[in-house]
């Protein structure tokens, strides 16, 4: 019987052609959008991990509570010991120190008077240590627009747009003004080794990148760090593992009432990323639902038109001894087959599009200019295993739903009536 | 003498809703048909011939009265049971070309057997035999749109007879055919009637058909006007 249906679908192009085209388009769009959302989410999580959250992050409890204010007075101290302990307890994780700091950049002229000034969002990474993975992890070299990485603690990278605005040249001196960990004023001169653009609005506003030792010194944070970031050595965020490590670490300090006691947070527990990821899942769900609905309505109507054309066929089949319910089920089976064919075509088209978008991406930097969230400026699609299957849900479901609705007409019509179409 | 009753109609009445009121298409029909009969319904257009054949063929149910076909009360059958009755015991031939367009001659004739879940080899054997009866074995792979009207009607006969039904219903089977084709088809049906013992019921306006019938039932305004048994010159042929 399936072979009988199959022959009908193949030979009667007008029966299958339009639905297959409609399904292909819908499925291709679903696949493309899903891949695109996957890509956006993955990029976003990845970028957040690299710059802000790590796969897990250790801070003091007090620091965590006031994180947005860069409260370096609440930073971790004696981090060398803590790092040693972490490396021993969790050898599958690469641990690094980070300091973020605010302040002012002052550009002096020849006489030492202020030529220009701007706010600085400072970031200190372990740049000079040859064992450090940070330069590679943060892709700093790729982000350098001109010049080179700092080679000494006396050198700094400054944000490219900031440098252009103040007309800064490589090799010129700038002065950083800020407060130390203990609250006293501090200033420090740096030579500009290069300019940098990370491509994320939240990072590029007045950015200044120095070595971690330079920051520790100028902020009076000997052996201190605002945060310790952990990266799983596999390179891929794995929530269960990160949560387990965090739990194990936090259990040790469970009964420590000290507000400077360290605490570990997995990525998903930071920056509302959990909400964001749930939201993305929900959006994907809604998207698929909308496609199912819209395509069902269209296919319902094509089903009605096709059904009218086929009343004669149904009449003959009834006379030959098929029952109405059987004809109805065969129609649905036919819909499943057509839905599958359409979904296969649609998935191929969608994957081709997604593959293209995976390479080229869409530049959204214009839209994220003012975003305070860490978002990549170019969003690329990402093809994950689920992308190969996701299109089949709306494809097959919509065709079946559309056919079920249009097929009701067969039930409503009296048998003799269907049959009279013959005469 | 075979007198086994295969169809019995008692006070069969059919009314169709028309606008606010009703239209009586069949009005208290009482008839019986015995096994192997070669009979026909004649009457003016609108007299109820098709309506009556549809009820006998279990494609429709009477509004009133009782229609019993091969022991089944037509009105009480489920979708499935009435489909099964048609599939196994009743063959249909219609006025117009009524083959499934996208399927070949072979596949059209095979379809009723497919519904009976017969195996591929059983189907092939039965289909080729049926195509032999009608002399179109070479046409197995042709599509219906490549056939003439007469050939199409012969394939319809093969499809109706392939399952060897007890009853064959033919609603104006010759209306669209020329005289030569009409006679050829009628001879074919007469032969199958004799060889397989199938009960034939026609509806017709065609004088040619009437010359083959053993029994002619005249309908007018949904009533039986005359039920005559006749000796015809073509009956023996
Ligand atoms: N489903 C229906 N709804 C309403 N009226 C119907 C329906 N089917 C048939 N009729 C009416 O019932 C009457 C009998 O119709 P039927 O088709 O049985 O006539 P017939 O004898 O076969 O005529 P013809 O020789 O033209 O085929 C006609 O007046 C027709 O309009
Ligand atoms: Mg009629």
Q: What percent of chain A has pLDDT over 70?
A: 94
Contact indicator for A130, A123 with CB cutoff of 8 Å: no
| pLDDT for the residue numbered A361 | 80
pLDDT above 70 for A20: yes
Domain B5-236 grouped into CATH 1.10.357.10 = no
Q: What's the CA dihedral at B108, B109, B115, B116 to 10 degrees?
A: -170
Q: What is the DSSP letter of A1?
A: -
| pLDDT for the residue numbered A347 | 95
Per-residue confidence at B236, pLDDT binned at 50, 70, 90?
low
What's the per-residue H, E or C state across A43-77? HHHHHHHHHHHCCEEEEEHHHHHCHHHCCHHHCEC
pLDDT above 50 for A53: yes
Strands A144-147 and A155-159: unpaired
If you average pLDDT over residues A227-256, what whole number do you get?
A: 90
| pLDDT for the residue numbered A276 | 78
pLDDT above 80 for A35: yes
Is residue B23 in contact with ligand 1, taking CB distance under 6 Å? yes
What's the per-residue H, E or C state across A238-258? CHHHHHHHHHHHHHHCCCCCC
Nearest-CA residue for atom 4 of ligand 1: B16
The candidate with the shortest Cα–Cα distance to A242, out of A93, A133, A87, A46, is: A93
| pLDDT for the residue numbered A99 | 94
Task: Out of B12, B47, B51, give the residue to mutate to test ligand 1, the one with the largest number of ligand atoms within 8 Å of its CB.
Answer: B51
Per-residue confidence at A158, pLDDT binned at 50, 70, 90?
very high
* Range of lowest pLDDT (A55-69, A222-236, A373-387, B79-93): A373-387
pLDDT digits (tens, 9 = 90+) for A300-349: 888 888 777 788 888 899 899 999 899 999 999 999 999 999 999 999 99
* Per-chain mean pLDDT for chain A: 87
pLDDT above 90 for A413: no
Does residue B2 sit in helix, strand or coil?
coil
DSSP, residue by residue, B28-39: EEEEEEETT-EE
Nearest-CA residue for atom 7 of ligand 1: B16
| CA separation for the pair B53, B47 (Å, rounded) | 12
Mutate to test the interface with A, among B115, B167, B172 (most CBs of A within 10 A): B115
Query: For residue B18, which atom of ligand 1 is closest to its CA?
Result: 4
Does residue A363 sit in helix, strand or coil?
strand
If you average pLDDT over residues A61-90, what whole number do you get?
A: 90
Strands B64-69 and B38-42: unpaired
| CA separation for the pair B120, A317 (Å, rounded) | 20
Close Cβ partners of B185 (under 8 Å, ≥ 6 residues apart)? B150, B153, B154, B157, B173, B174, B177
Q: What percent of chain A has pLDDT over 90?
A: 41
| pLDDT for the residue numbered A371 | 59
| pLDDT for the residue numbered A420 | 59
Nearest-CA residue for atom 2 of ligand 1: B16
Nearest-CB residue to A323 (from B80, B88, B101): B80
The candidate with the shortest Cα–Cα distance to A320, out of B169, B152, B11, B187, is: B169
Q: Chain A to chain B, count of Cβ pairs less than 8 Å apart?
A: 80
Is residue B45 in contact with ligand 1, taking CB distance under 6 Å? yes
Nearest-CB residue to B84 (from A321, A324, A420): A321
CB contact under 8 A, B79 and A323: yes
Higher pLDDT, A35 or A271: A35
Residue extents of the structural domains in chain A: 2-47+275-420, 56-236
| pLDDT for the residue numbered B135 | 92
C-alpha to C-alpha distances, B212 to A371, B193, B203, nearest whole angstrom: 91, 12, 13
If you average pLDDT over residues A187-202, what whole number do you get?
A: 87
Q: For residue A420, how far is its CA from the centre of ligand 1 (angstroms)?
A: 9
| pLDDT for the residue numbered A423 | 44
* B98 and A CB contact within 8 Å: yes
pLDDT digits (tens, 9 = 90+) for B62-106: 999 999 999 999 999 999 999 999 999 999 998 876 899 899 999
| CA separation for the pair A101, A181 (Å, rounded) | 10
Instruction: Quickly tell me which residue has 């055919």 as its tokens.
Output: B177
Per-residue confidence at A167, pLDDT binned at 50, 70, 90?
confident
């Amino acid at each position: 019987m399936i072979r009988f249906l199959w022959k009908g679908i193949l030979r009667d192009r007008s029966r299958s052609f339009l639905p297959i085209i409609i399904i292909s388009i819908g499925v291709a769009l679903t696949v493309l959008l899903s891949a695109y959302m996957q890509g956006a989410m993955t990029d976003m999580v990845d970028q957040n991990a690299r710059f802000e959250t790590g796969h897990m992050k250790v801070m003091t409890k007090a620091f965590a509570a006031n994180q947005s204010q860069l409260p370096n007075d609440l930073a971790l101290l004696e981090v060398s010991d803590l790092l040693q302990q972490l490396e021993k307890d969790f050898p599958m994780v690469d641990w690094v120190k980070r300091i973020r700091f605010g302040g002012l950049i002052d550009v002096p002229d020849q006489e030492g008077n202020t030529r220009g000034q701007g706010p600085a969002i400072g970031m200190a990474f372990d740049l000079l240590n040859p064992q450090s993975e940070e330069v590679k992890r943060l892709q700093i070299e790729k982000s350098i627009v001109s010049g080179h990485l700092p080679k000494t603690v006396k050198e700094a990278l400054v944000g490219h747009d900031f440098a252009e605005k103040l007309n800064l040249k490589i090799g010129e001196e700038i002065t950083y003004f800020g407060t130390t960990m203990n609250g006293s004023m501090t200033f420090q001169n740096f030579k500009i080794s290069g300019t940098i653009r990370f491509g994320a609005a939240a990072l590029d506003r007045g950015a200044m990148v120095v070595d971690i030792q330079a920051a520790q010194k100028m902020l009076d944070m000997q052996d201190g760090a605002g945060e310790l970031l952990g990266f799983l050595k596999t390179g891929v965020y794995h929530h269960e593992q990160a949560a387990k490590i965090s739990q194990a670490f936090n259990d040790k300090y469970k009964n420590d009432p000290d507000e400077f006691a360290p605490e570990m947070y997995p990525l998903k527990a930071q920056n509302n990323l959990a909400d964001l990821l749930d939201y993305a899942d929900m959006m994907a769900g809604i998207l698929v639902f909308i496609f199912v609905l819209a395509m069902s309505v269209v296919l319902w109507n094509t089903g009605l038109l096709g059904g009218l054309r086929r009343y004669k066929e149904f009449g003959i089949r009834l006379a030959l001894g098929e029952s109405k319910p059987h004809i109805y089920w065969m129609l649905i089976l036919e819909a499943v087959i057509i839905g599958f064919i359409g979904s296969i075509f649609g998935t191929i088209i969608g994957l081709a599009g997604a593959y293209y978008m995976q390479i080229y991406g869409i530049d959204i930097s214009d839209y994220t200019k003012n975003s305070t969230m860490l978002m990549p400026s170019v969003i690329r699609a990402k093809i994950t295993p689920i992308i190969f299957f996701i299109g089949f849900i709306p494809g097959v479901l919509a065709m079946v739903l559309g056919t079920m609705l249009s097929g009701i007409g067969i039930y409503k019509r009296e048998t003799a009536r269907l049959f009279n179409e013959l005469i | 003498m075979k007198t086994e009753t295969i169809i019995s109609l008692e006070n069969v009445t059919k009314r169709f809703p028309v606008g606010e009121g009703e239209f009586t298409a069949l009005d208290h029909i009482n008839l019986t048909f015995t096994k192997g009969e070669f009979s026909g319904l004649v009457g003016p257009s609108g007299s109820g011939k098709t309506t009556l054949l549809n009820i006998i063929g279990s494609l429709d149910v009477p509004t009133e009265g009782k229609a019993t076909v091969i022991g089944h009360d037509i009105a009480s059958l489920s979708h499935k049971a009435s489909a099964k009755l048609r599939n196994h015991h009743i063959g249909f031939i219609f006025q117009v070309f009524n083959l499934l367009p996208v399927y070949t001659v072979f596949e059209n004739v095979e379809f009723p057997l497919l519904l009976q879940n017969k195996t591929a080899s059983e189907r092939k054997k039965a289909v080729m035999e049926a195509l032999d009866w009608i002399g179109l074995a070479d046409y197995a792979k042709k599509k219906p749109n490549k056939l003439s009207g007469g050939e199409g009607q012969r394939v319809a006969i093969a499809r109706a007879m392939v399952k060897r039904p007890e009853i064959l219903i033919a609603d104006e089977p010759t209306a669209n055919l020329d005289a030569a084709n009409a006679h050829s088809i009628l001879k074919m049906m007469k032969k199958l009637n004799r060889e397989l013992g199938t009960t034939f019921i026609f509806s017709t306006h065609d004088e040619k058909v009437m010359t083959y019938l053993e029994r002619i039932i005249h309908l007018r305004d949904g009533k039986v006007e005359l039920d005559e048994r006749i000796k015809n010159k073509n009956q023996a042929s």
